[in-house]
Structure 1
């Protein structure tokens, strides 16, 4: 373990003295001091007290801040601005890195599914997780479902009742019978977060997987597209982006461990989905599929009861339709 991460772990347990940490790690006190100064330069304001070094009471949104007390095996790389966190994660993948989370305060060239533009100004949670799961490419969609579950859980912890529209749109409102207008265009609610997964692999294994997640956190709703919203808009106050990012990563790490046993991921996805039980129209390469969404099956196929029988859709653009009685 490097001195920086060891220092963060020690700070989580309370004040720690430089000499004690140097002895525990078998490094010089100068190395400990250098690690402390590096944390401060990142924005993690370590305090010096008579009892030793103390973590800040309210850690900043930075690499060290997100890693502090993080119960997940990831290293965070933070940037004030990037064109795309996914692009940077792919660069790291080419260099052989793994279990790295690229975080940016803003993205200037973000994109969503189907190459749609994604507005990503300062104040959101924009991150891309690079991992190398030991699964065949056919099971990669499970990680997208896991990311959607983790994102919903992080938003709910912040006080917003988010839900999932198949396969990975994270929305607010728009439930059947609601009067907020969120379902008028078939989106199923106001867009709160999006997920974009990219991968490289061979026939029998994934070489690397990048899961890009964008959450509209502390963003003025007036700067977003008309069908989008933010955590700030929904709660009426700023949220703790550091805690949201940490919750998301911890939840994803737990689910990713079970990717070879898909039942747990699928059950969690079903529990948070608004698509199941709804009439839907899914645009697929072979044409539209219309019917009632009844289930999701591994590795992420939407099961739809249609007039022509049951169909399974593995990819497409899903629209929620109003039932005949609405």
Structure 2
């Protein structure tokens, strides 16, 4: 959304305003005002022409309308359908862009960790942030943690009891006991939480400093259970249908608050962590680490208490286990 259209919406928020008044306020022609109003209407904004001037009657539920009322400095690039928001964000980052949120209603070629396919059906939030933080490359994982916290806070505001599994999976505790008909637990020993969101961060740096970071966020929002893979849930399933525009705004605002106060990210992550205090198994390149997760250290290192002492895990696949 360009600055003129944003200014028109801001003016309309205060009540009806005539075309000549808008033209005078914005220092553009009346014809330009009309063209911008028509473009906003095509984007889904319901703008009525009355005797008193233009009046904003309704705001779209999603899309570029996320910028309307957004209290964070992100420009929204919206796509009805896209192969991968991360791919598009990477293109923008390589072209020098910053503070752009690539947002899609549907994502058909997304990828998660370990190059796993991630299909994002219509109704979800498929979002990639283009960032240019002035930080060392070693601090970049903090942005991933910040994204997990932001998603969790937005989900909780929507009524979902979301929690974070190290480092960045957002889960919902299952209401099912996860026991078989015999009343016995399944043999894998895993705790049966359901996945609400996943986060994938990509980065390019030079001389130890970050050039750009892309934070990809995929959230099952207004998606019915039949359209979800096994082991997944959605905001709709957990708490009912929500306004995705408001949901994304809150996510972006929470993320923006955290990225400018990096010293607060770890404490915020701990506040919403499902992993801390849990018995875990973490698959790492050098083997499995099994024990109790007791803390997280900068920039996202998991501290696991094992029979052989504390082990610090920098990266790996973490699973929550039932108590031994």
Q: Normalising by structure 1, what TM-score?
A: 0.92
Corresponding position of 1:180: 177
Distance change >3 Å, CA 108–CA 28, structure 1 → 2: same
Distance change >3 Å, CA 234–CA 40, structure 1 → 2: same
2:194 corresponds, among 190, 193, 199, to 190
Corresponding position of 2:70: 70
Distance change >3 Å, CA 205–CA 13, structure 1 → 2: farther
1:253 corresponds, among 253, 256, 271, to 256
Corresponding position of 2:246: 243
4+ long deviations beyond 6 Å: none
State the Cα deviation string for residues 278-304 of structure 1 (Å, max 9, x = none). Answer: 111111111111111111111111111
Partners of 2:134 and 2:14 lie apart in 1 by 34
State the Cα deviation string for residues 235-286 of structure 1 (Å, max 9, x = none). Answer: 2x32211111111111111111112xx2x11111101010000111111111
Corresponding position of 1:204: 208
Three-state SS of the structure 2 residue aligned to 1:93 is helix
Q: Tell me which protein shows more strand as a share of its residues.
A: 2
Partners of 1:66 and 1:179 lie apart in 2 by 35
Partners of 2:206 and 2:292 lie apart in 1 by 35
Query: 1:122-201 maps to which residues of 2 (within 5 A)?
Result: 122-174=122-174, 179-181=176-178, 186=190, 189-201=193-205
| Per-residue deviation, 1:322 | 1.0
Structure 1 gap ranges (5+):
none
Partners of 1:128 and 1:145 lie apart in 2 by 15
Partners of 1:39 and 1:218 lie apart in 2 by 25
Corresponding position of 1:97: 97
Three-state SS of the structure 2 residue aligned to 1:110 is strand
Three-state SS of the structure 2 residue aligned to 1:16 is coil
Distance change >3 Å, CA 313–CA 11, structure 1 → 2: farther
Partners of 2:274 and 2:305 lie apart in 1 by 16
Three-state SS of the structure 1 residue aligned to 2:122 is coil
State the Cα deviation string for residues 39-86 of structure 1 (Å, max 9, x = none). Answer: 1111222233333333333433111x1001000001101111100000
Preserved contact between residue 153 and residue 248 of structure 1 (Cα < 8 Å): yes
| Per-residue deviation, 1:7 | 1.7
Three-state SS of the structure 2 residue aligned to 1:277 is coil
Q: Normalising by structure 2, what TM-score?
A: 0.92
Preserved contact between residue 197 and residue 217 of structure 2 (Cα < 8 Å): yes
State the Cα deviation string for residues 148-199 of structure 1 (Å, max 9, x = none). Answer: 011011111111111100000011014xxx7432996536510111111111
Preserved contact between residue 132 and residue 207 of structure 1 (Cα < 8 Å): yes
Partners of 2:266 and 2:121 lie apart in 1 by 32
Three-state SS of the structure 2 residue aligned to 1:46 is strand
Q: Would you say how many aligned residue pairs link Structure 1 and Structure 2?
A: 316
1:233 aligns with 2:237: yes
Distance change >3 Å, CA 250–CA 148, structure 1 → 2: same
Partners of 2:68 and 2:164 lie apart in 1 by 29
Three-state SS of the structure 2 residue aligned to 1:53 is strand
Preserved contact between residue 70 and residue 249 of structure 2 (Cα < 8 Å): yes
Partners of 2:37 and 2:191 lie apart in 1 by 48
1:320 aligns with 2:305: no
Partners of 2:86 and 2:191 lie apart in 1 by 25
Three-state SS of the structure 2 residue aligned to 1:4 is helix
CA RMSD, 1 decimal: 1.8
